[in-house]
Chains A and B, each alone.
Chain A
Amino acid sequence: MEHVNTADGKREVHVAFVGNPNCGKTTLFNALTGSKLKVANWPGVTVEKKEGSAVYEDCNLTLIDTPGIYSLTCYTIEEKVTRQCVMDDDIEVIVNIVDASSLERNLYLTLQLLELGKPVVLALNMMDIVKERGMEIDLHRLPELLGGIPVVPVSAAKRTGLEILLHAVVHHYEEGPSSHVVTYRQDIEEKIAKLEVVMQARFPDHASVRWHAIKLMEDDEDVWREHPVSVTDIVDRNYEKDIIQQKYQYIETIVKEVLFHKEKKAAFTEKIDSVLTHSFWGVPVFLMIMGLVFFLTFSVGDFLKGGFEVVISFLSVEAETILTSVGCAGWLISLITDGIIAGVGGILTFIPNIVILFLALAILEDSGYMSRVAYVMDGIMGKAGLSGKAFLPMVLGFGCTVPAIMATRALETEHDRRKTMLVTPFMSCSARLPIYVLFSDMFFPRHSVIAAFSMYVIGMLVAIAIALLMQKFEKGQENESLLIELPEYKRPNGRTIAIYVWAKLKDYLEKAGTVIFVASILIWFLLNFGFHGMVTDASDSFGAVLGRWMVPLLKPAGLGMWQIGVALISGISAKEVVVSSFAVLFGVINANSETGMQTIIAHINAQYPGFGPLNAYALMVFCLLYVPCMATIATVKKESGSWKFTGAMVVFQLLLAWVAAVLVYQIGSLFL
């Protein structure tokens, strides 16, 4: 093989990480490359391929992490992405990560990868679970039965066996491909041989002729399209079933020879499942777990925020003193203290809530419970025409809508994807949290946790109700096609959780430093400048002009105040900006503090006498339901590939938010 040399004299090797969903590809990838990609214990976390690099001996390795797949067919988006990546001529070595605790199923993909004719290294992950279950794997016999490829036991989580794996990758790369492993029934082998001749004649430079021949036998659409050979005389029918069965027969012989005493079962997982997937208690238990997550988020988060308040107010006072002492212009001081510190700093005080929320979600995701949620919610989702799997993006939506929308890729049909994309934004994301915390603390001082928690319940109910309505409208059938793997439960890994929470916290800080920062400056400008330059009274500003235009629209919802109009419009950039806007609007340094809240309430009441809990609740409902943020809109456009769909979604969300807020206010007014 030809070696590509780089400037530093090292060889370049491209390695693809391929394996079943949830076998630990990304954990291994992170361990080798030092990347911090998201890892969790449910199938389908990785939906895009990602690159990283590592150096070993005289090689520069480019490692490519791929979405998990069960088979090299191309029925789902993940399969297409991974298959394309593996087939790429650039890929010189395939590292096939195998969950040793479910060797039998994992080897099916292995056998397909071997047929590609590229060098394959088998990384046996989760050997500790194998041991715990009282099983043993014959590490001498296994490679013999797989055409002599290197088999390396690794622990991605404990970072053992990594050096040996890289050694095998580099070494095997030099050795070249291994011979073919599975021999099919005679009639099939004869046909494969004939197809190989035809393929070789048409495509002389082809690298994996046998694999393509087999795929032609399986009637693979993509292979037919790319290699339009006329072989109808050879392929008289679809041989896929035969080929799959014979692969599994071969696997059965492997398993019989290499896997010993399987009697001790994973009693641990079964015990937990008897409660968590109970046919009656499953749903209440799920709701209780989510309730606990939000309770912790609000109560512990609020308890911790005191520390942040001190820092922010200190910063603001210091900044003003220093800026004044160096003789800064008044407008600049105003921009920095009333614009930036108020807008961005206020948002930072919600960090404790955000961290607790993501900590709880990380533990849920890494424990193995997520797949069970799909099973537990399958009945309810089925009535809405979606499989229980569609509930996974919705749960992710409690964290952030953007990755949640991307997670819809794991769903089987385009119809299900779009429907899930439409309802996922109603799940309250962490950006809406500051709004709930602030307004429930201000207007429901004694029941703030309940008021905030009710937003999550309403969001979830609205999402399911919309899906149910669509189902009625489409006259669709109940969806009962759930198909998802339930992984073993495990103790959440500290490192995984740390990576997860840190990544989310970083996103939040980045957002505060970019979108919220810019939005705060813009809002400050809109409120301090008017048609005649800088204004002293905000009601002469551009912002007021803009906001006043919205007052008649917002009046029926009890929100007829130009400041609210401004806050809601700017909230489309990012939902936290609604809170920033209030801070900038009323010149509050830290909205999330006792004095800050008092100032905001006083200002609101001066503008809108009688603005009480009901108005605040209508505002919270509006914020829950209207357009999540620019990033979500962009993601929906990217994932749906349709401006029409994206536009319709935005209009729908605006209308729904308005109707719901009006209903809350009007009906509430009858009673209060």
Chain B
Amino acid sequence: MTLYEGTKDKSYRVEGLFVEEAVTRRLQALGLNDGTVLKILNRKKRGAMIIQVRGTRLALGKHISSCIEVKEEA
């Protein structure tokens, strides 16, 4: 599934980044790599979301979140 399909207050493990090169590198620099665990803190129904990753809060647009492949973390 993609991160965009995720639900609020649930945690996910990143399985792959499939967004433009420049954005990928930026996400990686922010610590979003394959295997990183993140949590969705808040989201709009159709749109941006706020995630927590490595102790930081990030706002991600729909385009970016739908290009991040994730798996739900138990």
Residues of A within 8 A of B (CB): 70-71, 73, 75, 101-105, 108, 240-241, 244-245, 248, 251, 262, 269-270, 273-274, 277, 279, 371, 374-375, 378-379, 382, 387-388, 412, 479-487
Contacting pair A244 B28 (CB below 8 A): yes
A274 vs B8: C-alpha distance in the bound complex, in angstroms?
Answer: 12
With contacts A105-B31, A105-B55, A245-B33 known, is A279 near B61, CB below 8 A?
A: no
6 nearest CB pairs, A to B: A482-B61, A480-B63, A71-B29, A480-B62, A486-B57, A104-B54
Contacting pair A484 B63 (CB below 8 A): no
CB distance from B8 to the nearest CB of A (A): 9
A279 vs B34: C-alpha distance in the bound complex, in angstroms?
Answer: 29
Which listed residue (B25, B41, B58) contacts A484, Cβ 8 A? Answer: B58
Contacting pair B57 A241 (CB below 8 A): no
A71 vs B27: C-alpha distance in the bound complex, in angstroms?
Answer: 10
Contacting pair B56 A102 (CB below 8 A): yes
Contacting pair A382 B31 (CB below 8 A): no
A412 vs B61: C-alpha distance in the bound complex, in angstroms?
Answer: 14
What residue in chain A is nearest B35 (Cβ atoms)?
Answer: A245
Contacting pair A101 B61 (CB below 8 A): no
Contacting pair B34 A379 (CB below 8 A): no
Contacting pair A486 B50 (CB below 8 A): yes
Contacting pair A273 B50 (CB below 8 A): yes
Contacting pair B56 A481 (CB below 8 A): no
A525 vs B52: C-alpha distance in the bound complex, in angstroms?
Answer: 62
Which listed residue (A262, A482, A485) contacts B56, Cβ 8 A? Answer: A485
Contacting pair B59 A483 (CB below 8 A): yes
A412 vs B22: C-alpha distance in the bound complex, in angstroms?
Answer: 10
What residue in chain A is nearest B27 (Cβ atoms)?
Answer: A483
Q: Which of A103, A245, A262, A375 has the most CB of B within 10 A?
A: A375
A244 vs B26: C-alpha distance in the bound complex, in angstroms?
Answer: 11
With contacts A482-B64, A485-B57 known, is A388 near B33, CB below 8 A?
A: no
Number of chain B residues whose Cβ lies closer than 8 Å to a Cβ of chain A: 31
What residue in chain B is nearest A73 (Cβ atoms)?
Answer: B25
Contacting pair B29 A73 (CB below 8 A): yes
Which listed residue (A248, A269, A371) contacts B33, Cβ 8 A? Answer: A248
Residues of chain B within 8 A of A241, CB atoms compared: 28, 33
Contacting pair B55 A70 (CB below 8 A): no
Residues of chain B within 8 A of A105, CB atoms compared: 30-31, 54-56
With contacts A248-B31, A378-B47, A378-B48 known, is A371 near B25, CB below 8 A?
A: no
CB distance from B28 to the nearest CB of A (A): 5
Is B43 an interface residue, CB under 8 A from the partner? Answer: yes
Q: Which of A274, A371, A483, A484 has the most CB of B within 10 A?
A: A483
Total inter-chain residue pairs, C-beta < 8 Å:
112
Residues of chain B within 8 A of A371, CB atoms compared: 59
Contacting pair B43 A374 (CB below 8 A): no
A479 vs B62: C-alpha distance in the bound complex, in angstroms?
Answer: 9
CB distance from A286 to the nearest CB of B (A): 14
Which listed residue (B23, B27, B34, B62) contacts A245, Cβ 8 A? Answer: B34
Residues of chain B within 8 A of A71, CB atoms compared: 25-26, 29
What residue in chain B is nearest A477 (Cβ atoms)?
Answer: B63
Residues of chain A within 8 A of B48, CB atoms compared: 375, 378-379, 388, 480, 482
Contacting pair A70 B29 (CB below 8 A): yes
Residues of chain B within 8 A of A481, CB atoms compared: 23, 61, 63-64
Residues of chain A within 8 A of B28, CB atoms compared: 240-241, 244-245
Residues of chain B within 8 A of A485, CB atoms compared: 30, 56-59
Residues of chain B within 8 A of A251, CB atoms compared: 31
Residues of chain A within 8 A of B63, CB atoms compared: 479-481
Contacting pair A375 B41 (CB below 8 A): no
Contacting pair A482 B57 (CB below 8 A): no
With contacts A273-B41, A273-B50, A279-B43 known, is A75 near B26, CB below 8 A?
A: yes
Contacting pair B58 A104 (CB below 8 A): no
30 CB < 8 A contacts A-B: A70-B26, A71-B26, A71-B29, A73-B25, A75-B22, A102-B55, A103-B55, A108-B29, A244-B25, A244-B33, A251-B31, A269-B57, A279-B42, A279-B43, A374-B59, A375-B50, A378-B59, A379-B48, A382-B61, A387-B61, A479-B63, A481-B61, A482-B48, A482-B60, A483-B26, A483-B27, A484-B58, A485-B30, A485-B56, A486-B50
List which B5-60 residues lie within 8 A (CB) of chain A.
Answer: 22-23, 25-31, 33-34, 36, 41-45, 47-48, 50, 54-60
Residues of chain A within 8 A of B60, CB atoms compared: 482-483
Contacting pair B50 A277 (CB below 8 A): yes
Contacting pair A277 B61 (CB below 8 A): no
CB distance from A166 to the nearest CB of B (A): 29
Residues of chain B within 8 A of A482, CB atoms compared: 48, 59-61, 64
Q: Which of A245, A273, A371, A378 has the most CB of B within 10 A?
A: A378
Contacting pair B59 A388 (CB below 8 A): yes
A482 vs B19: C-alpha distance in the bound complex, in angstroms?
Answer: 13
Contacting pair A244 B29 (CB below 8 A): yes
A481 vs B4: C-alpha distance in the bound complex, in angstroms?
Answer: 12
Contacting pair A279 B45 (CB below 8 A): yes
Residues of chain A within 8 A of B29, CB atoms compared: 70-71, 73, 108, 244
CB distance from A481 to the nearest CB of B (A): 5
A354 vs B62: C-alpha distance in the bound complex, in angstroms?
Answer: 38
What residue in chain B is nearest A240 (Cβ atoms)?
Answer: B25
A375 vs B49: C-alpha distance in the bound complex, in angstroms?
Answer: 8
A219 vs B33: C-alpha distance in the bound complex, in angstroms?
Answer: 19
CB distance from A511 to the nearest CB of B (A): 36
Contacting pair B61 A378 (CB below 8 A): yes
